[in-house]
Chain A
């Protein structure tokens, strides 16, 4: 029972990370049909901003040396700026491009960012100890839980609630939902296309910043491709949840994270190394039953 509860917290914490990344991807897909594979590189670049630019093997803290409220504010701002710059430099110029072309461009942008990181910081992974007090394990009624997992779950819950209120209650959020529903019609009603798209990039970048912090504290390592796995799983999460649906992205992220953690805990030792194979089998099975994902949106359904 204790073991199961601990696995459950594992699942929720990993699922939270996937959910945040999936939201960052799902938001842009909903508004402009962009499947942004550069999202992981937004995460990586934001994480690297913690240290001084140098190709030394040893990392020297830069933003990472600030007090925690300043550090969080700086990294989140950095994520927002990276996303906005990507929009202004690249995606803004291809507003009318097809979703396939947009996706290819996002791959290209991702490689550019990765190589930028390698040039400026070096290609080798670097150790980075940040907020090591968060990695301590606390005892909650016999349950031994890493504090970071609770923080991850709490931060995610808070962000989700904030985003939900933003999307439901504010003029900006309502305009974004209208644009995600029917972009052309929203413009005919005066919703500014540039503004709504920039806003989605900003929120997506903010989420990338949050993921970068949570991830770096958890792993203690910086690497140019550090977030590739997260982004692949997050993308799968958006597909599982239903492309374009934000609740779907969150649900998909939690589900994929949970499947991963539960398989890790309960697969027999001999085949545990093949955990991801089973995760993907689960995803395939789910998509066979519900091809449009858990939450179906009619504007994305293929017309047959």
Chain B
């Protein structure tokens, strides 16, 4: 356990009914780090992020954010503590304008005069949002919506942002754009990031550490450069399924 970890997850277990989704997941996110959780559909990636953000009820385990135990806290309490969550499927408030979407998370902030400055900063990262301020959020393209929900999360002034599948349903060019911005947010704003992806190829380039999750348990973790294609593949799909003829890191 490092002192400068912004998030520590210990022995996280949760289930829906009798089926366990997570069987003791542990990992940590270093301050200003970008950690990627990868794994197949149904591995428990979304449940992990949901549990950290307070959206899913945890059976056991602890979640420590900036030294404070936030296990079982309400989502709005966790958000106010400085941890923002961008769930899968974006969840833009479609009947609110782009500007209202951005402001929803700012009303409980105590530093009200910094809100306008933050708004300008978000426009700096996502210039297209500024052109569409008065437009309903539901009328935007998928890429624009992804930028809107990341910008919206930033307006809460978080220190850690969890993003569930940021590249889902986006054109490769837009995905690159999103990841470039995430990279900038790390270096320029000192933001810590925890990202879920189904495909590990893209996050390999950006992440400090890859965590492979399958069947509700961590199968493998390590720096991207230290993980070979075969070990990654085995962790992802289960041992012995690696096909050497078509090995190209398609995971």
Interface residues of A (CB under 8 A from B): 171, 174-175, 177-178, 181-182, 184-193, 297-298
With A and B bound together, what is the CA distance between A175 and B100 in angstroms?
A: 9
Q: Which residues of B contact A191 (CB under 8 A)?
A: 76, 104-105, 107-108
Asked if A188 contacts B79 (CB within 8 A), the reply is yes
Chain B interface, number of residues (Cβ within 8 angstroms): 27
Contact of B75 among A175, A187, A298 (CB under 8 A): A187
| Contact partner, A178, options B75, B84, B96, B138, Cβ 8 Å | B96
A182: B residues at CB distance < 8 A: 91, 93
Question: Are A188 and B104 CB-contacts (below 8 A) given A177-B95, A193-B74, A298-B94?
Answer: no
Q: Binding site of A, secondary structure by majority: helix, strand, loop or mixed?
A: helix
> Known contacts A177-B95, A181-B96; can you find 17 more A-B pairs with CB under 8 A?
A171-B107, A174-B103, A174-B104, A175-B104, A178-B93, A181-B95, A182-B93, A184-B55, A184-B91, A186-B93, A187-B76, A188-B53, A188-B87, A189-B79, A190-B80, A191-B108, A193-B76
Q: Across the interface, which residues of A come within 8 angstroms of B79, CB to CB?
A: 187-190
Q: How far is the CA of A192 from the CA of B96 in the complex (A)?
A: 18
CA separation between A298 and B93, bound complex, in Å?
11
B156 within 8 A of A: yes
Q: Is the CB of A188 within 8 A of B93?
A: no
CA distance A43 to B226 in the complex (A): 69
Measured between beta carbons, the chain A residues less than 8 angstroms from B80 are: 190
Q: Which of B150-191 contact A (CB under 8 A)?
A: 152-153, 156
Binary interface profile of B, 116-133, with partner A (CB < 8 Å = 1, else 0)? 000000000000000000
Cα A175 to Cα B53 in complex, Å, equals: 19
A187 CB contacts on chain B under 8 angstroms: 54-55, 74-76, 79
Interface contact B105-A189, CB-CB below 8 Å: yes
Please name all residues of chain B whose beta carbon is closer than 8 Å to the beta carbon of A184 when the two chains form the complex.
55, 75, 87, 91
In the A-B complex, list the 10 residue pairs whose CB atoms are closest, starting with the nearest. A189-B105, A190-B79, A187-B75, A185-B91, A171-B107, A181-B93, A178-B104, A188-B85, A190-B108, A187-B76
Q: How far is the CA of A224 from the CA of B153 in the complex (A)?
A: 49
